């Protein structure tokens, strides 16, 4: 998953706007990694 796509999905949550930019970047990286490593079955 690309970072841009992750940001678009995460922006749907009001929580996303309550955290700092540094925390957002960490969240985006973690989200992308989690989605990428998730099995397809």
What's the burial of 2, exposed, middle or buried (CB within 10 Å: 0-12/13-18/19+)? exposed
pLDDT at residue 41 tops 70: no
Instruction: Name the residue range of residue 31's domain.
Output: 3-37
Instruction: Specify the number of domains making up the chain.
Output: 1
Q: Which pLDDT does position 39 carry in this prediction?
A: 77
When pLDDT is cut at 50, 70 and 90, the band that residue 1 belongs to is: confident
Whole-model pTM: value is 0.79
pLDDT single digits (tens) 22-36: 999 999 999 999 988
Q: Phi and psi for 17 in degrees, rounded to 5?
A: -85, -5
Q: What is the mean pLDDT of the chain?
A: 92
Q: Which pLDDT does position 17 carry in this prediction?
A: 95
């Amino acid at each position: 998953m690309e970072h841009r796509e992750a940001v678009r999905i995460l922006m749907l949550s009001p929580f996303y706007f309550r955290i700092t930019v540094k925390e957002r970047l960490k969240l985006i990286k973690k989200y992308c990694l989690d989605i990428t490593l998730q099995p397809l079955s």
